[in-house]
């Protein structure tokens, strides 16, 4: 789910202009006329995870079946439950007014406790009632997707899953700590050979080191990680396309605390020539904003309506008279959507335009 923003084929700082990709994935799939490049992050060098160990994890899918001729697709991004009514994810998954962005805003559904993506068609799919993007979010590699955080309010409460633990402490930056990222993203760039939820351990990289490696725009509210090298894959562990919006957890005294949201990374997932394989938005930095949204003190950025879904569906599928959906789960986007997927580079799960 990373977006492609820096071109660093090595560790050279000067070459930071094309090899990193924003972890964004599905928005670019909407219309070839958008000429977007989707970047999605997935888990590289991961092991199969048990969803029971990560009950806060949420998979975000595109579910246009009730309004178009197209089928359930995804996952487009990841997320976590803040409560049974709210999901924490990345802003780049929903930002913009392009057709691809509107597609995600209107048709995204949240699925809780999903072990295997093949089971999405029979799972409870929760539509989005309100989308809150951080007011200071800045889209694109020029800004390194600054403040890449969003909150989704569900149309109805989730019956499965548990709220994630998070807070304002940054103690993990100053002491030995273990970190793990989770997701349904690609297992290497543009390749997803596992339907299972995957997990991968990550190694903390200080912001000063991250900047020295070429990410000069990294600020205090970013968290950088590297991953261990695998002789089997020839890649370093990390996130990839489809992982955008998903969590990185800090293992703190036997408890999992979410400290970051998958945002962006190298254009080539697990690139061994780049010392940083994943960059996350720091949750603690945005603690007050999160609390404000949950308390009803913030105004939603988008409020998708039933009529908007119907109108958009008629525009995309002019010959479709569908009014109700089915439980399918394996169809594909029309060619005009999938054409954009060939540009996907990272699992930052962000739909990139232009």
Q: What's the CATH fold of domain 1-354?
A: Thrombin, subunit H (2.40.10)
Strands 198-205 and 222-226 come out as: antiparallel
- Distance in angstroms (rounded) separating the CA atoms of residues 343 and 16: 19
* pLDDT at residue 189 in the model: 56
* pLDDT at residue 193 in the model: 55
CA-based Rg of the chain, rounded to a whole angstrom? Answer: 18
pLDDT tens string for the chain (354 positions)?
A: 333 333 222 222 222 223 344 443 333 333 333 333 333 334 556 678 899 999 999 999 999 999 998 999 888 999 999 999 999 999 999 999 998 899 999 999 999 999 999 999 999 999 999 999 999 999 988 899 999 999 999 999 999 999 999 999 999 999 889 999 998 866 655 545 557 899 888 999 999 988 887 788 888 999 999 888 777 777 777 788 778 999 999 999 999 999 999 998 888 787 778 888 889 999 999 999 999 999 999 999 999 999 999 999 998 875 554 443 333 322 232 222 221 122 222 233 333 333
Residue with tokens 């119907």: 310
* pLDDT at residue 188 in the model: 54
Note if the pTM is more than 0.85: no
Burial of 299 (0-12, 13-18, 19+ CB in 10 A): exposed
In this structure, is the dihedral angle defined by the CA atoms of residues 330, 23, 187 and 200, taken in order, positive or negative? Answer: negative
| Packed helices 99-107 and 306-316: angle between N→C axes, nearest 10 degrees | 130
- Comparing CA positions, the residue from 16, 35, 38, 37 lying closest to residue 25 is 38
* pLDDT at residue 28 in the model: 34
Q: Which sequence spans correspond to the domains of the chain? A: 1-354
150 within 8 A of 79, measured Cβ to Cβ: no
Q: Which segments within 63-193 are labelled E, that is strand?
A: 73-81, 86-89, 108-112, 126-133, 150-154, 178-183
């Amino acid at each position: 789910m990373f977006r492609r923003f820096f071109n660093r084929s090595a560790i050279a700082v000067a070459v930071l202009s094309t090899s990193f990709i924003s972890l964004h994935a599905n928005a670019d799939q909407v219309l070839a006329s958008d000429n977007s490049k989707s970047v999605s992050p997935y888990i590289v060098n991961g092991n199969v995870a048990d969803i029971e160990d990560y009950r806060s994890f949420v998979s975000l899918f595109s579910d246009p079946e009730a309004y178009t001729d197209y089928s359930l697709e995804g996952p487009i991004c990841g997320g976590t439950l803040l409560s049974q009514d709210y999901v924490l994810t990345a802003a780049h998954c929903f930002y913009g007014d392009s057709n691809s962005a509107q597609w995600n805003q209107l048709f995204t559904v949240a699925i809780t406790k999903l072990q295997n993506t093949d089971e999405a068609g029979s799972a409870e799919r929760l539509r989005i009632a309100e989308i809150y993007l951080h007011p200071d979010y800045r889209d694109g590699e020029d800004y390194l997707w600054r403040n890449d955080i969003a909150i989704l309010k569900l149309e109805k409460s989730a019956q499965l899953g548990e709220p994630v633990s998070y807070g304002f402490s940054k103690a993990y930056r100053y002491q030995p700590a273990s970190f793990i990222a989770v997701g349904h993203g690609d297992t290497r760039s543009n390749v997803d050979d596992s339907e299972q939820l995957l997990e991968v351990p990550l190694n903390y990289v200080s912001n000063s080191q991250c900047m020295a490696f070429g990410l000069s725009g990294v600020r205090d509210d970013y968290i950088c990680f590297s991953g261990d090298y695998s002789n089997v894959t020839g890649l370093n562990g990390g996130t990839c396309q489809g992982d955008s919006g998903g969590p990185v957890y800090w293992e703190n005294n036997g408890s999992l605390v979410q400290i970051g949201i998958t945002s962006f990374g190298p254009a080539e997932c697990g690139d061994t020539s780049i010392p940083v394989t994943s960059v996350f938005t720091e949750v603690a930095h945005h603690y007050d904003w999160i609390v404000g949204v949950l308390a009803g003190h913030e105004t939603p950025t988008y409020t998708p309506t039933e009529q908007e879904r119907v109108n958009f569906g008629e525009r995309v599928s002019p010959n479709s008279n569908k009014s109700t959906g089915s439980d399918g789960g394996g169809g594909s986007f029309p060619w005009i959507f999938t054409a954009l997927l060939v540009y996907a580079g990272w699992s930052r799960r962000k739909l990139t335009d232009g």
